[in-house]
Amino acid sequence: MFRRLPGDEARNLVTTTPDTAIVFRPAVVTTPAIITLIIFAWRLLLGLVRTTWRHPIAVLVVAVPVVLSLLYGWRTALLLCTPVPVGLLAWALTNRTSFVHLIGRRLLAWWRLIWLYRRHWQPVMIVSGLGKHVMGRDYLPRLGKVTCTSWADLVTVRMLDGQAVKDWSDRIEALAHGFGAPSCRVSVLKAGRLLLTFPRRDPLATVIPALPIPEMPTVGPVAIGTCEDGTPWLLKILGTHVLVAGATGAGKGSIIWSVIRALLPALRAGLVQVWALDPKLMELSFGRALFGDRYAATPEDCADLLEAAVQVMQERAARFGGVQRNHTPTVEDPFVLVVVDEVAFLTAYQADRDLKRRISAALATLTTQGRAVGIGVLAALQDPRKEVMNIRNLFPDKIALRLDESEQVDMVLGDGARERGALADHISPVPERGAGVGYVRLETSPDPIRVRAAYVTDSDIRAMVATHPAGGERQ
């Protein structure tokens, strides 16, 4: 019992009875040993079956010598197994390409799955926040198949229930550093499954020389460079509009001249006309003879040339209306490509408001109505801010070269492009490594593609002018 003391001593409580607290201990259910052994054996069997299914070659490499040694002795096993590695070595030395394609990359994928991804999967997932540790148990996304290409590892992942693609795209840098890769890209395979791309090397690190001029006239898609996976970069120009954004020295000229170079046979055949707007007087003027009188440099001439293109568009629309919906280039109605080297100078930086209004209105008209009648716009600019270029969303296909700020990537390629791996702000400013390197976002796909445009030198442009003069006068 307790009693209260008078005065200051009343603050102290004194007990005269022993502690009678009751401690409740949870009941412990003991699992029989036989059940534990059965569960362990079942998991071991499932693991062996899963490993054999996923890595049959690796399992055979280990299992066959062991079985032969147990049945016939190690000498017989060595004698029977030796021809296999000797034959593989001879194959690798005599035909390395086929060996790497059929055997080498499969072995590399198995090794990187075991040694890199599976070994580091749990800590990377937990530290990056993509996995959860709850009450002593780890809930992790499921690591799937690893495929090795010539330049990257393609890793399939099954997300946890309740996760979104944005949860992964927000952590691409953590994933890249966690698995020792320079970058990481996230794309959706299907509901709940992702494809992570981890580059092992940079196949676009060296300058690509100017591509050969096509032998036959073509209006596209035209080859202007190389994609990161080694395939040709084919840029669609007919039936679309293309916006190219990049800082000074990022390689916008490489894209413009590579497109013009690929169109030279069609230009000479009269199937294509290139209308050039060159307000800087530094890029397109070098090949001015290719354009004839379809060249403009001053803001006044640029406005007139754009309005002339609008007139051609409206005249064709009046003739094609109710007859055809898609344009096929002919000599009578060639495909018109309007090339604007620095569009921001015309739409934002010049002082004449009337000229800016005329140019902006003409560009908006061409980009909204021109592609159905065979008129496309290829525009390049340095500053992608909306107040500089307020019609950038009218370009279905966009290319982001090296940019100064991370926010500019989404301005050019659309919301979420940088989160999916379009790190245009990380492209090297060294011309030999970064000029012409960029990311493409097409109208048909939200996933950015890393590319590099071929470098067309001054000598190449002179040769183009000498061998492919302008075709005809402006209509």
DSSP string, 415-455: TTTTTTT--GGGS-SSHHHHTTEEEEE-TT-SS-EEEEE-B
Q: Is there a contact between 337 and 371 (Cβ–Cβ < 8 Å)?
A: no
Look up the pTM and report it.
0.78
pLDDT of residue 28: 65
pLDDT of residue 470: 59
Residue scoring higher pLDDT (52 or 317): 317
Q: What angle do CA 446, 262, 371 make, to 5 degrees?
A: 50
Distance CA 107, CA 114 (A): 11
Which phi and psi (to 5°) does residue 444 adopt? -90, -5
Tokens linked to 336: 């018109």
Question: What is the three-class DSSP state of 81?
Answer: helix
190-211 pLDDT, tens digit each? 889 999 999 999 899 999 999 9
CATH 3.30.980.40 range(s) for the chain read 106-201
Lowest-pLDDT range of 96-105, 123-132, 293-302: 96-105
Tokens linked to 272: 């294509």
Which residue type sits at 77? A
CATH 3.40.50.300 range(s) for the chain read 222-467
Q: Is there a contact between 465 and 472 (Cβ–Cβ < 8 Å)?
A: no
Residue scoring higher pLDDT (366 or 101): 366
Question: What is the three-class DSSP state of 126?
Answer: helix
Which phi and psi (to 5°) does residue 306 adopt? -65, -40
pLDDT of residue 24: 59
Q: Choose the CATH number for 222-467 among 1.10.3110.10, 3.40.50.10860, 3.40.50.620, 3.40.50.300.
A: 3.40.50.300
Per cent of the chain over pLDDT 70 is 91
Give yes or no for residue 268 having a pLDDT over 50: yes
Lowest-pLDDT range of 16-25, 34-43, 195-204, 350-359: 16-25
311-328 pLDDT, tens digit each? 999 999 999 877 877 888
Beta bridge partners of 271: none
Report DSSP letters for 228-245, one per residue: TTSSEEEE--TTS-EEEE
397-420 pLDDT, tens digit each? 999 999 999 889 999 998 888 888
Q: Is there a contact between 448 and 422 (Cβ–Cβ < 8 Å)?
A: yes
Q: Is residue 132 very low, low, confident or very high in pLDDT (cuts 50, 70, 90)?
A: confident
Question: What is the three-class DSSP state of 175?
Answer: helix
Distance CA 288, CA 279 (A): 13
Chain center to CA of 40: 44
Q: Which fold has domain 106-201?
A: Threonyl-tRNA Synthetase; Chain A, domain 2 (3.30.980)
Chain center to CA of 388: 26
Give yes or no for residue 186 having a pLDDT over 70: yes
pLDDT of residue 224: 95
Lowest-pLDDT range of 26-30, 89-93, 177-181: 26-30
Q: What angle do CA 63, 68, 72 make, to 5 degrees?
A: 160
pLDDT of residue 390: 78
List of E strands, 107-192 = 132-134, 137-139, 142-148, 152-158, 185-190
Average pLDDT taken over every residue of the chain: 86
